[in-house]
Amino acid sequence: MNISSTLDNGLAALQRAQANAKQNAAEIARSEPATPTQTSAMAGLLSDRQQALAAAAVTKTADDVLGTMVDIRV
């Protein structure tokens, strides 16, 4: 198991979620209320939130595993 790779993937997913959320938030800000564009951007924002939560869970788990491995070797 490559913990470094897992941490990198988790952090990359967090960065993608943040970039997508920023794009969706900008789309919401510039669109008219209650339009399909705004609705789609809001759904995207919720999806970005879920992606960020999942990526954070992956990163935390990899961090916990790394901490356990360090504890075992010390």
How far apart CA 50 and CA 67 sit, in angstroms, is 26
Which residues fall within 8 angstroms of residue 34, CB to CB, at 6 or more apart?
none
Full pLDDT tens readout for the chain, 74 residues: 577 899 999 999 999 999 999 999 999 999 998 899 999 999 999 999 999 999 999 999 998 988 887 777 65
Helix, strand, coil in percent for the chain, rounding step 5: 90, 0, 10
How far apart CA 47 and CA 1 sit, in angstroms, is 29
User: Which domain, by its residues, includes 54?
Assistant: 3-73
pLDDT value at residue 17: 98
pTM of the entire predicted model:
0.83
**Position 43: which residue type?**
A
pLDDT value at residue 73: 67
The number of domains in the chain is 1
What does residue 31 show for φ and ψ, rounded to 5 degrees?
-95, 160
